[in-house]
Structure 1
Amino acid sequence: MWFSKFFILLSVWVMLSIEVESSTHWIVTESGLIQPRLNSPFDMERPYDLLAFLNQEKRWDAIFENYNDLMKHQKVIDALWFDVGEHTNSGTQILQDKDCEKAGNINAIDWHASILDDGSEKVPQEKYLFPSAYHGPSTDVPDCKRISSLTFSMFAFEHLESMMQRDNLSANPEYVLPELLTPIMTLDQFGHWVTGVLRENSSSWLHYHMASMFWRIRGNAPKALECSRRAVHYAPRAYKDIALGSLGVVLHRAGKSNDAIIVLSAAIDHDPTSFVNYFAIANAYSVIGEYNTSLKYYDDSLKLNPGMELLMRHKYGVMCQAKLSLRIKAIRETLNKLRDELNVYTQKQEAWTKLQTEFLKTIKNGEETIEKKAFERMSADNCA
């Protein structure tokens, strides 16, 4: 008897201490007995379990708190999906951008493109020792490493990692007409001729430089670098920018753009009037994604050679690429946020499911009760 009185008093205390809406969980029978309504969360399978009864409201509220939290995360996820759609649908805007229109198909732009600089704008023609006509053989090639030995030299930038591993580098051939080197010889004849000149004078920086151009056209980076090393070593200060420029271009075309930038910067320091080196270093900065610096060097190159179509296209190409990269970065950041939100949502959904499962074990007609109450509470929330 005393337990029944205690239970009644406890029930009254619970009714007074919980939220107003919780009062709908209880009814008073004709005999004056307070008991839970049917389908109430307090219509428990084990009404005599005092601890379970005291924790029931916490369980009930926790379910809806988790549900509301899930809905908040769902709204964030929906907004992030919308942002992804906005960014991915911006391709048309990029195509209509003025800079992108002027650049044309940026996928077709060769960011490793180069201009062969034979030094003829600075070096007197008689220094080249070209014959008036050439009908000789074409069997020898200028293997600079065999023609002369060269010890380690900091002045040839051999402390750079790419230079220390130069034997392992590779680069695509530079598709330049052999006639640009000399109109009186084929490329093979040119190689044979320059080999003979170097055998007679193994300290000629100019002919080492020309030998490097031979290997650049052939697409042999290690041999081109060996010739450029010697060209840099033997070149007087007035011509050192030419040799350094060729060395930097080979490194860039071999995929060592950061090291190429160091060498090309030195070339520009030696002669800030060569548009070829500005163009080369601009391409290197484009490849590593430093578009603002790249644009600066394209502008410097155009100041020295205004209106050159190749320079103009690369300049507009890098401006277009910069805008495209910003959009790609925004998409990547949004997708990362979306991934994190989905992970959190999944964890909370698992916790919510676990709470419901535990709650259903405590009440009569568990699934029917929670579905009905959930519908009523959600409807009330929507109306509010």
Structure 2
Amino acid sequence: MSEGERTLVDQSESSSFEDLASAAAHEIEEAKIAEAAASAAEKEKHTEHKTVEKTEKTAEEWQDVLGSGALMKKILKTGDEEEGLRPQRGNICRISYEIKLRDEPNVTVEKRNQVKIYLGDNEILQGMDLALTLMHKGEICELQIAPRFAYGDTGLKAGESLGLVGEADSPKYEGPTIDSETWLLIQLELHDWDEEPDHETLSIAERMEIGTRRRCRGNWWYGRGEATLAVQLYRRALDVLDESEGGITDPTPSGALAPTSDALHALLDERIRVYNNMAAAQLKAGALDAALQAVSRVLQCQPDNAKALYRKSRILSAMGRGAEALAVARGAAAAAPEDAGVLKELKRCEQRANRDRSVERRLARRMLGTAPAPPTPDKKPSRSNMLVWGSLLLSLLVGVASVLVYRYKMQAQ
């Protein structure tokens, strides 16, 4: 029984001497007050319950995407979940994002609106790439990303390139140093996405645009020491730059094939740049056979490409093929006689070749038995021998002196 109901009963039982009409009216009024009080208490209790639920839900809003705490996701705005569709690797996503430092949220690292990215190509930070595969169209989320899925051990310093997608000359970072312990706080929005078109349907200009952006992003990863990620971007660039069956053409709106020799030449140059860069990344990653194959593709088209010859020499040296490396280094020096890097490689190969020849000659002499005997070191007299000879010499001198003294005395007599 509530406090209001208890008050109402007490008043009814103690009012037998009062006017019944007045008592009834009073009871009705008290009942209304008690009902209102009960309603208010219930509402307050419901509000407190909702607050507790909201607090508990807030604590559970962060989703541990990888189960390791390295990538946390919180939905700020739900997307279109009716069909349950999410973007897949290779889809072209249109996104907006803002990257901040988690512990210094007033510092903005990078902000982009309505930018197009190829999902799975690491055109954005790895943590963002992973999170997009879990988002629906129109969804906005907040991410906490550990350094390993952000800027890694290399970090990011003021004045270094941000490596923005689609920009060969990317703007520079101007904030405080991001080190290997710096977490990021990112707001990410997925506007929509489309499937990647068949490369056969792309014009030369479109192929060029896609290939160049992937090469530039690959260069950014390579510069950060991420050779494997760089190779991935270079391979994706070659997907659209390599010739397809029947050759690369540039269809006109009417469907006719117009001559595009200049455009094809530019596309070939871009493809050669990608193969050259990929060879360097594969060499750094230790994939020597793949690196040699990539650089050979360059030299098939441009036999005097100094950069390709230089990298081939380094690859052959790493494979232990010193004589071949020297021959290729000489070719690189002939193609670029003033390139300091090429000349340094040539000198290194020559020094290695000289050492190898010297070792071979020594081995040959030993096998034929013609190796000169090692020189015998001069033996120095030991201390004991020196004392003996010194004593003998001293005794001899004393004897000679005694004889001379004796003769002198005899003559004096």
TM range (shorter): 0.3 to 0.5
In terms of fraction of residues, the more strand-rich structure is: 2
Larger Rg: 2
Between 1 and 2, higher relative CO (CA 8 Å, sep ≥ 6) is seen in 1
